[in-house]
Structure 1
């Protein structure tokens, strides 16, 4: 499936621009009303690099926390590291976290499992451990066996990158690496990237961007990992971002996919991307964060869609107003139909 997604992305990148339907304004108005009724304040829809729906509320456009939308930068960071020869997706984590070498279970864990959150760790959402705490955290499942959404896998990947970069004689800061390899070439201006108690960049969350800057990242995904005709990351590792795991077909390497999954975790249950996959474009990929922050990329439509909203904890949980809950499928149908 990974090679198929890459073929779609690259083919779509070279296709001619499609004409914007006459109903675009009506679709924009309907999608905006739906978003605004659910705490939304910014909606930016790009087609072939041109805005066809833009409801950002201020000229300056204040940057906004992406929350777990941050994670999808991590998968792309890994694809850059593969291109640079720093790592491979299927190498054991214990090759870098050498104190695990004699642990019969931990030494089977791979980097791919970290990025797909099937490495046996989870943790409390919104409370990321330090890198050292992630290394020390006990496993609650056998690696590869179970999808567990949580911050620990991303923080553990941060420690892997820190050690890999230091060994290669480079700046060991993972954010500095991402900035040099991906953000700066794409012209993405990050307003802030929060750090943990240990001073290291948070990878499960922490990026603060405007809608326009997040859309630039989406365009890079839309273009199949290319920028100005050049692959910025390893093409095979890029394609693997959009391939689900056996444990969770609807989650790739930090990206959500429209594939049904029986995984019972609350984050999966909180979105209908999987449950209503038949209604959505097959090549849709999604970066998602708390408060229904969304970056949707649809290569077959040549579209990048950014939606940002205020985080209101009262809108979550069993007592939340059902009429104000976010539906990815309902929202996208307003724009795409």
Structure 2
């Protein structure tokens, strides 16, 4: 009887240990370990089908028709890193490059975070610590109020009505830094901050610390005193995937996760829908470029509330939706009228996307 009791006790302990071990190895599907990363030196990219995801296949063609009608050049949907749909329109091809416009602001956000993690900069320090004084035309005591974080959050206090040129003569004082949100190209001075602090060029630091590590193949082009990024659509999708993975690519943490949390949440008290050059959905109000008006409601009402987005002139888009495991990219000409970032196209597109992904 003692042997029988010992046998049953041993068996019970073994089963208990086995069950707890299985529980311990269960992974959260939202953790980076479950995300697929395409090789950095190859065009190979795994796919997953609409059928496997149980999405509404009958909604695909209406979505594609809409995209083509709206002057789209390319469109990609990733699910947990794998390509669900990839389409090219109006003479565009998978190797064709296109401009990111202001969607590329978020590349500057990423690299500023990398430079901070590398100990080269501190975003809470004033810009003149890195560029010296008189990088603006503001009085010195006002210029010294402007931090790198002010550039990331669009709260420099500089006049946003003087055009795109970021020459010192064009950077005029309007109000104290941190007291006014205004969409302004002065953010590009962060590229000078990083290059100066790294004793390098912006292009070299960007390529070495970000682009090459995730397999992007684009380039920076100087246009009217601004540095604008051009790439193929998959390079844009790679960057979106890096963001979805909380700054991680395979086993390497490229961008600090805490920094990215700050970047993709409200960065100041004026425009709830703005982080560090990222647009945020699901907030109670938002501001738009070239306006000081506050609009009530979500930025894109029919998009998921946790979505954050890189939005560029004439409808260049990266949508990142953690709750849906989605990264969506759209490149092309303006869907309707010219715009700086947000447009009616965003919500119209999300209505079509919802028809597809909601089975």
Q: What is the TM-score with the length of structure 1 in the denominator?
A: 0.79
Do residues 121 (structure 1) and 158 (structure 2) align?
Answer: yes
Q: Which has the higher contact order (CA 8 A, sep 6+)?
A: 1
Q: Show the counterpart of 1:282.
A: 305
Of residues 184, 193, 216, the one that matches 1:188 is 216
Q: CA deviation at 1:197?
A: 6.5
1:291 alignment counterpart? 314
Q: Does 1:263 align with 2:287?
A: yes
Equivalent position to 1:219, from 241, 252, 272: 241
1:13–1:299 Cα contact (<8 Å) kept: no
Q: Could you say which residue in structure 1 is the equivalent of 2:257?
A: 235
Specify whether residues 306 and 122 from structure 1 end up closer, same or farther in structure 2 by C-alpha distance, changes over 3 A only. farther
Q: CA deviation at 1:10?
A: 9.5
Equivalent position SS for 1:73: helix
Instruction: Report how far residue 37 of structure 1 moved.
Output: 2.1
- Contact 2:155–2:182, Cα closer than 8 Å, also in 1: yes
Aligned length: 304
Q: Note the C-alpha offset of 1:266.
A: 4.2
Structure 2 residue corresponding to 1:207, chosen from 224, 229, 238: 229
- Structure 1 residues 10 and 77, CA, compared in 2 at 3 Å: closer, same or farther? farther
**In the alignment, what sits opposite 1:107?**
144
Deviation string 1:214-244 (CA, Å, 9 cap, x unpaired) is 0011110111100122211222222211122
Q: Determine if contact 2:79/2:326 at 8 Å carries over to the other structure.
A: yes
Q: Flag structure 1 segments of 5+ consecutive residues without an equivalent.
A: 1-8, 318-324
Structure 2: segments with no counterpart, 5+ residues: 1-27, 37-47
3-state SS of the aligned residue for 1:41? strand
Cα root mean square deviation, aligned = 3.1
* Segment of structure 1 superposing worse, 72-81 or 242-251: 242-251
Contact 1:272 1:328 in 2 (8 A): no
In 2, Cα distance between equivalents of 1:110 and 1:283: 28
Q: Which residue of 2 aligns with 1:34?
A: 66
2:336 matches 1:329: no
Choose 1 or 2 for highest CA Rg: 2
2:115 aligned residue (81, 95, 119): 81
Q: CA–CA distance in 2 between the matches of 1:124 and 1:10?
A: 46
Is the contact between residue 318 and residue 328 of structure 2 (CA under 8 Å) also seen in structure 1? yes
> SS of 2:115's equivalent?
helix
Shift of 1:183: 0.3
Cα deviation for residue 212 of structure 1 reads 1.1
